[in-house]
């Protein structure tokens, strides 16, 4: 394929020689690259000629010549660029180059009965099929990494936080299981999406296949079988909900990955230090501060995720189409779909790297649990005392003790031990047991087990 000189001067981050690997993976970039897109245009045109020749819609010899020409065709990208800028779409230029490469009059049968959007839409669906496989494989790997962390730290106590404050103890395994549960749902969503999103398009100029009547639907069915796609019951030239659903699912996935990255980056704070990204030479370092170990993978996940979600919103605009063929909304997809999928590919790769090498620090988790001098387990005392004197009265007594402990910088156990109404029902050894964070993890371990069971069942089904 002939490459124009301007390709070397890309202004897009995903193609940048400097930043490209932060925002894209080679596998996903290849699918949506110029070469990948043109290859799928050609694959659809070849399949159309093949099935029409087989069905006798066009002469069999012409169909064979078209397929042979496509197999050896070296698309002139510069000529295609000029044509696309003139026409507004790339397919006329593609068809012209195929026709010129065909011997005799075979070229007149290229693109028979099709319309530009048929080829472009079906090519996008072929790209989505491959992209879905990459996303599903990445989600599977990430789920496995989270499952390993959840199982390893099923009973590792740490501070649960609400509104950025200590709430109640949880286990780190529980936190990982909560993350994993969302990943498992995304895998199910992706499976459910495939039948809707992987329907090819072949409907002709206004969607009625009038130029091929009465055999248009027959050609449609044969074309989709040849390409391994599903048949669309009716045209979707101006009904873009399935593509919007696909990109918005990538937005949901990016949101989950960003949530994990946000949690990890906060837990990496010097003042918290409960987990850290992998220590590797130069990873997350500063140009001037030797002590820095920045959450660089988290930053890339969060950054790419925001781009994905903005493109998901842009795809919603593409749904607002007019009549049988849109005047503009379609063009927004040409940006939003490749951008969203290339960026989610990068976010998934960074998340997999992050979780594969995450360092967990149980001792620091224990130190942070002790910061409140027992305050994080105040609810445990309140509930035990409430069973004796009523919840409202118990809350008032424990609240008084918490305030006293904070004001006087003593432990909650000491403050509670000074209140006769408390010790009358809860002796000191009982208070100590209630205030131990490891004794108030609730169903953290059971929840981990349930999520791991779902993950195992999902693997068995796969």
According to DSSP, the residues that pair with 359 across neighbouring strands are 276
Residues that are catalytic: 163, 286
CA dihedral 323, 329, 334, 338 (to 10 degrees): -110
List Cα–Cα distances, 253 to 318, 413, 435, 451, in angstroms.
20, 44, 38, 18
């Amino acid at each position: 394929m002939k490459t124009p000189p301007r390709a070397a001067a890309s202004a897009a981050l995903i193609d940048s020689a400097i930043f490209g690997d932060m925002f894209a993976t080679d596998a996903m970039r290849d699918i949506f690259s110029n070469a990948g897109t043109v290859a799928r245009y050609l694959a659809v045109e070849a399949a159309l000629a093949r099935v029409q020749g087989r069905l006798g819609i066009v002469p069999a010899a012409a169909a064979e010549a078209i397929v042979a020409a496509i197999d050896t065709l070296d698309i002139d990208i510069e000529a295609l660029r000029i044509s696309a800028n003139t026409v507004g779409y790339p397919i006329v230029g593609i068809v012209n180059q195929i026709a010129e490469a065909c011997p005799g009059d075979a070229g007149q049968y290229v693109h028979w009965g099709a319309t530009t959007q048929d080829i472009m839409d079906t090519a996008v669906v072929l790209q989505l099929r491959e992209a879905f496989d990459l996303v599903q494989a990445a989600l599977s790997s990430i789920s496995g990494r989270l499952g390993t962390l959840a199982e390893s730290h099923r009973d590792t106590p740490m501070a649960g936080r609400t509104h950025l404050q200590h709430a109640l103890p949880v286990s780190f395994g529980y936190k990982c299981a909560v993350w994993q549960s969302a990943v498992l749902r995304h895998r199910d969503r992706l499976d459910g999406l495939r039948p809707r999103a992987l329907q090819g398009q072949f409907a002709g100029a206004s969607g009625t296949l009038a130029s091929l009547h009465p055999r248009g639907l027959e050609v449609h069915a044969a074309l989709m079988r040849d390409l391994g796609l599903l048949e669309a019951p009716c045209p979707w030239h101006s009904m873009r909900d399935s593509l919007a659903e696909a990109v918005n699912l990538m937005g949901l996935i990016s949101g989950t990955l960003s949530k994990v990255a946000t949690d990890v980056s906060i837990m990496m704070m010097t003042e918290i230090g409960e987990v850290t990204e992998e220590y590797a030479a130069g990873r997350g370092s500063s140009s001037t501060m030797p002590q820095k170990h920045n959450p660089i993978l988290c930053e890339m996940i969060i950054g790419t995720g925001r781009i994905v979600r903005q493109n998901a919103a842009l795809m919603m605009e593409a749904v607002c189409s007019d009549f049988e063929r849109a005047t503009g909304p379609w063009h927004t997809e040409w940006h939003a779909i490749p951008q969203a999928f290339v960026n989610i590919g990068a976010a998934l790769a960074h998340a997999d790297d992050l979780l594969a090498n995450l360092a967990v620090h149980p001792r620091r988790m224990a130190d942070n649990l002790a910061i409140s001098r027992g305050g994080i387990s105040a609810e445990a005392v309140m509930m035990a005392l409430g069973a004796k004197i009523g919840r409202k009265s118990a809350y008032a007594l424990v609240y008084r003790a918490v305030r006293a402990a904070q004001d006087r910088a003593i432990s909650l156990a000491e403050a509670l031990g000074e209140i006769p109404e408390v010790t009358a029902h809860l002796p000191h050894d009982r208070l100590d047991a209630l205030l131990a964070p490891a004794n108030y993890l609730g169903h953290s371990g059971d929840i981990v087990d349930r999520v791991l069971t779902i993950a195992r069942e999902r693997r068995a089904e796969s």
